């Protein structure tokens, strides 16, 4: 649940910042009449994301066990790739995010009547689709059905609240630091999802080594215990881990964390400013 709360909070806050930036820019440029189109695009993005989540949840049912495991493992790997790209993208483009969105708004306002609907739908929908896929993959790896959704929903609600407070100027947050540390957390979580995706592919018979264990600490960390459940829900830790799972986890987490921390320390990685300040600085 904790891991999915972090996913919902991180992705939800990114989407909230996009909406806040767009709303602030529309108000600053005297285009308040376009705000309903902005919300129409957001609603469309949410509907598409929910539909995608439902497809992931109910689509594989009725297939053979091996087919379900193959689909689950493959989508878990895709989810990890998307999340990895997302955290590096945020580190690289946070400085110019406001300018890019303003450029899209200007083009939409001067073009088709409902161009802003598409801008908002694409900007928010990307976050929504990534969230749906990653939460589904995390839920598959933990074996739970309800708690991951509850955690993600709480994270999204918290993100919406933070977005509102940022928009009103009530809350001052070091967004650069927030995204940096949540990015570290997501990389570690993604490592667990990747390892479990590999385990699914081993279950499907696509990868070998299902019964070749690197370690088995089930006696010390029973999967049904509260601490076993906590480790599984937060880090996707499996007490019985195969050599391939352990190898994949190490080969992903260590280099990706190194590259991510280095990217955030580079001069190009500047702190993310508040939405209102970003718009005011570039009218």
Dist CA 185 CA 177 (whole Å): 13
Residues of 109-145 as b/e, b for ≥16 C-beta within 10 angstroms?
A: beeeeebbbbbbbebbbbbbbbbbbbbbbbbbbbebe
Dist CA 274 CA 16 (whole Å): 12
Q: What contacts 153, CB < 8 A, 6 or more positions away?
A: 8
Report pLDDT for 251: 96
- Its pTM stands at 0.68
Q: How many domains does the chain divide into?
A: 1
Contact 87, 187 (CB under 8 A): yes
CA nearest to 270, candidates 102, 96, 98, 123: 96
The whole domain housing 108 covers: 2-281
Residue 243, φ and ψ in degrees, nearest 5: -60, -40
Contact 218, 32 (CB under 8 A): no
CA nearest to 99, candidates 270, 236, 281: 281
- Compute CA distances 176 → 45, 95, 129, whole Å: 25, 10, 23
User: Read out DSSP for 58-126?
Assistant: HTTTTS-HHHHHHHHHHHHHHHHHHHHHHHHHHHHHGGGHHHHHHHHHHHHHHS-TTHHHHHHHHHHHH
Report pLDDT for 242: 92
Per-residue pLDDT of the chain (283 residues; tens, 9 = 90+): 666 777 778 778 778 877 877 777 777 777 788 788 888 888 888 898 888 888 877 776 667 778 888 888 888 898 888 888 878 877 776 555 556 666 666 666 555 556 767 777 877 887 788 778 877 777 776 665 566 677 778 888 888 888 778 777 666 666 677 778 878 888 888 898 899 889 989 999 999 988 899 989 988 888 778 777 667 766 778 888 999 999 999 999 999 999 998 888 765 555 455 555 444 444 4
Report pLDDT for 88: 85
- The three-point CA angle 60-63-67 to 5° equals 85
Report pLDDT for 259: 93
Strands, E assignment, the chain: 213-216, 240-242
């Amino acid at each position: 649940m904790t891991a999915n709360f972090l996913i919902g909070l991180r992705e939800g806050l990114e989407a909230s910042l996009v909406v806040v930036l767009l709303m602030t820019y529309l108000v600053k440029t005297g285009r308040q009449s376009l705000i309903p189109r902005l919300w129409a695009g957001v609603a469309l993005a949410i509907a598409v994301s929910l539909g995608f989540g439902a497809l992931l949840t109910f689509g594989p049912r009725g297939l053979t066990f091996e087919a379900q495991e193959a689909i689950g493992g493959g989508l878990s790997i895709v989810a990890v790739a998307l999340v990895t790209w997302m955290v590096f993208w945020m580190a690289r483009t946070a400085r110019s995010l406001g300018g890019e969105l303003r450029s899209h708004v200007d083009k939409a306002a001067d073009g088709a009547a409902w161009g802003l609907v598409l801008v908002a739908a694409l900007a928010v929908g990307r976050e929504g689709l990534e969230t749906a896929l990653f939460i589904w993959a995390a839920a598959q790896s933990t074996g739970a059905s309800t708690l991951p959704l509850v955690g993600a929903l709480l994270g999204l609600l918290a993100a919406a609240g933070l977005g509102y407070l940022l928009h009103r100027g009530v809350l001052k947050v070091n967004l650069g630091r927030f995204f940096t540390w949540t990015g570290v957390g997501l990389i570690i979580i993604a490592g667990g999802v990747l390892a479990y995706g590999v385990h699914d592919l081993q279950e499907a018979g696509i990868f070998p080594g299902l019964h070749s264990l690197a370690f088995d600490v089930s006696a010390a960390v029973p999967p049904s215990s509260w601490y076993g459940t906590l480790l599984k829900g937060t880090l996707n830790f499996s007490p019985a881990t195969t050599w391939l799972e352990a190898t994949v986890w190490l080969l992903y987490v260590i280099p990706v964390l190194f590259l991510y921390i280095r990217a955030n320390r580079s001069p190009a990685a500047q702190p993310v400013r508040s939405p209102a300040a970003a718009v005011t600085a570039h009218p």
